[in-house]
Chains A and B, each alone.
Chain A
Amino acid sequence: MSLLHFVVLAPFIMAIFMPFFYYKFRSVHTGWFLLPLPLILFIYIATYIPINGGGLEPVEHTVPWVPSLGINFSVYLDGLSLLFGLLITGIGTLVVLYSIFYIKNKVDEPLNNFYVYLLMFMGAMLGVVFSDNLIVLYVFWELTSLSSALLIAYWFHKEKSRYGAQKSMLITVSGGFAMLAGFSLLYVIAGSTFSIREIIAQADVVVQDPLILPAMLLILLGAFTKSAQFPFHIWLPDAMEAPTPVSAYLHSATMVKAGIYLVARMTPVFGLTVEWFWIVLIFGLVTLTWGSISAVRQTDLKGILAFSTVSQLGLIMSLLGMGSAALHFDYVETEAIYYTAIMAAVFHLINHATFKGALFMVVGIIDHETGTRDVRKLGGLMAIMPITFTVSLIGLAAMAGLPPFNGFLSKELFFTASLNVASLDIFNLETLGFFIPVVAWIASVFTFVYSMMIFTRTFTGEFKPENYKEDVHEAPIGLLISPIILASLVIIFGLFPNILAYTLIEPTMQSILPGLTSVGEQFYVNIYHWHGINTELLMTIAVVLIGLAIALNLKKWQESYFFQRERDPLNAVYDLGLDQLVVQAQNVTNMQMTGRLRDYLLYMAVFISGIMLWTFFRYDAFAIDFSNELAVPFYVILVVAALLASTLALPFISHRITNIVLLGVVGFLIALLFVIFRAPDLALTQLLVETVMVVLFLLTYRHLPEITKEAKNIWSTSMKAIVSAAVGGAVILTGLSVHALNQGTDITPISDYFIENSKTLAGGYNMVNVILVDFRGLDTLLEVLVLAIAALGVVTLIKHKMKEGEDV
């Protein structure tokens, strides 16, 4: 275990102590106890930043977990995981600080739950970005989905919270399952290894495999659901029911970027295929456009930000798609054309976390102070909340892509990358490439429009006190600290972007595009504002002009049909699917679950005899050999005859007590057979079980109706006769064939092993018991568990009877 392992595990360990802090120090806000942890982790991870600009030496530590299956808890720190680790802990610190002031320490506020979930998320997310093993990554990945759902449903008394939590859970977890399947395929393709390092090392071979396409699609499904890419983005707007610190943390800065992380992590492998380029690029662009257009028609501030996040995630995704083309070229320092996209993606990832985090916190403040997030009610807050206003102005300007903020720089780089990629001469880009900059430009216009919309409708206009339940004033300083820090970062990164260049961006590019530069060589990263008058600048100017024109005329458009549909139309598909899932599942269940015991027995009998007979036919295993049978003693024949007689008599007796007694006779005769064949343990068990069973039968007897003559149905009667005959036939055939097979071959029976070893290995002479408690102890344990569950089921069914019309 290295320190890096503890970085991942620390939040989980801390989570154990949260309830203690909550109950012991009830008057102190629980968040204060938690606050130091992400800060310390942030500082620790920050020590890995290469400050002298010499590149980052990756660190790897491995702890075996299930080595026989290739599953090891390996932590791996390179540029990409360093960047994400800093984001998770850095934004985490600010969010925890913010949440201390946002969620009040009321008597019935379950703060312990909140912080346990938050810590669980933090640990899981760190686990995702630091794991080198795909299975470990998957486990942490699902944990982030789980903790996200728990946090969305934190105010679970609200119906919408529960709906949003369920939706996010269903969508992200089903994507996660697909991803697990993809990982398994990758394991097969890459020759039994789950290590990302090793898979990347043999990427050239891996992409030749015919299974690479399904593996890629499945893994992308996981990434796209997590990162809210079209058409899976519908869960993100509904996730906004979570408390705002959660929205700022999970649903804009970190968790939704897990998909981005995975795509970036997998680029060295899948980026070598054409499909990857087109799929990631097109999904990214569609999401970018759809998100920005949908954002314009929202009326809830958090709704706007949610769709804006969707759109920005699409932007980063499309940049990663474009950037994968760089893997097809050799690195030349002067030709930044190929890798600009990756640089832009990494840079925008950082920028988005800063400005969107600030904006979410600001919206939280507005919600907190005014009691509403509806832009139709808000207005004129500029004078009342000056600090909040300043922070949001910075954030909005960065989001809209205006200089001198960091958003402008990454937006310019995005335009450059899209222009570059359109001019490449691979992948049919010479014919299809032109649409990429066009789409990018259109989406940017809408991004500008919704940024303007938040600005004008919240801060300008007329302040109407009658719209608010509370007395509106500036937020307390505690709430403002975190957004102010983030806004300062927006400005700092905007003015001095190159402090990030060789500390974070270049190492990250190295991990997304490994092997492009020779050893010791570095990508050339230099981000600056003024490039002269070029296409990108003209595009930005056009965005601003047209965006302004649209934003100023937005009032007129709001009457149109398009703006009346606030909810995403894709939600209808999801809702219908969910309803139908329940209905169809019920139909399928009702088809087989008739509620009649005889039907279930029929299923079992048909299945068992069917599979047995099929196996016999398949392997041509019929062998009947009477040649050297043993002489059967007379008393055995007598016992068997009695057994047969009592069994055959059963169907013809219509009196229940007689039936029960007769069944008991059958059981005792079988016990006698066990005695004859020298199986004392079996005989004892059989006798005791029979005794207990007869008592049970007699007890239930009074609940059963008289046996009535049923109307004879020739079909069902002959059906039952056939099935009974088949079961009997299959059993006899198996017995005879096994007997015949035993004669001619020298297969040693499995019992020999137990006979030899039960004394030496387990210290017991009674083989049956030794098998039960030692050799097959787990079987026994689980059988007993089944017994216990069955007994509890009986108790529940009898003691808690359902009333009329009640359902489970």
Chain B
Amino acid sequence: MVRDTLTGSRIRERRVMAGLRQAELAREVGISASYLNLIEHNRRRIGGKLLVDIAQVLGVEASLLSEGAEAAVIATLREAAADSGSEAQELDRIDEFAGRFPGWAALIAEQHRKLGSLERTAATLTDRLTHDPHLATSMHEMLTMVTAIRSTAGILAETKEIEPEWRNRFHRNLNEDSRRLAESSQRLVAYLDGAGDAGANLTLPLEEVEAMMTAHKFRFDALEGAGDEDLRAFLREQKELTSRAARDLAETALRQLRADARILPLDEMRATAADGQVDPIAVARAFRAGLPAVLRRLAVLSDEILPQPLGLVMCDASGTLMLRKPIEGFPLPRFSAACPKWPLFQALSRPLRPLRQRVTVTGRDARQFDCYAVTEPVGTLEMNVDPLYHSYMLIVPVDGSQGEGREVGSTCRVCPSQNCEGRREPSLLTTGI
């Protein structure tokens, strides 16, 4: 394969190195994730402005993506020298240095790129911490209403001659929007008060476990062969786990992930997903594994072995979410109960009978996902004792819009769906009021 046909592979490599999801990079440069996927698999040629935009988001020179390493190493060395602010480097001898010591040159360039990547990660995490997605959605709706009010009021105030029919219509719109705005404002205040209270409970054991899992991106490869004592030693070192209860919960979760990894080894899973797609049922058959283990393992490994990450949620029979691996476009509620229409909850009523369902998430993006859900009993079965159950749901993004999917939301408070029989409380969003 000639050099420039590997541009897509280099983009993929750099994206993974930068810790970006395919969907995130695609959004940043204004293309669809499926188009980026084709580019990354070298099925679409790329150049010009789009290549420059992608390089900019990835923090690399476009030449690194189009030409490969040598030219880019020299360019990155120059960048590193410039960023250091020091004038001690022999800039006129960069070419000679890269030629005589290619290994050291590549190492310095790589360290410089990693530094940039870490800075971007820090900025992204700071951004996530300071932006509540529910709040952002709610504020967007309110701004839209304010715009309608401002525009309508402007027409009434500034138009000298306006037909009575139009005037009456704009008065009616104004009245309607003002009422919606007032109601939404009150609910937003209530939400913010509630969020403040919830913030005080951030140290719930389950949330500590989730924070620890997220910090490790749900991957604990080094523990796959570890014994129980090593596992407990690892958990004692985790700063997110501040309580004994949290450490006990984490130990149970990691034991399960460890068992999953032994049944479904990384290399074999990678081979199974070589074409970028996996069928959980086929994987379960091929590995003689239980479907819950397959769903967990696919979610955990998806960031590495599949073109796009997959999400996962787990709940007990009370419907309480006990594990969340978030996925873009399918918001998982943090403090309130989830949408009762999720296949996760349907599976609870039919243990051991897996279901697959296409869903469309309510809201303006209306993203579609295939959800694989299954419920299994917990612990050993005993005579005349009803078992307890855990339900799992793997969330797989669907490219584009492909037919109808059952409409599901995140949680009632931020769901715009109207006439939903499952609604428990009014929505903050105007369209749901």
- B is a partner of A: no
Question: Measuring CB to CB, which residues of chain B are less than 8 angstroms from any residue of chain A?
Answer: none
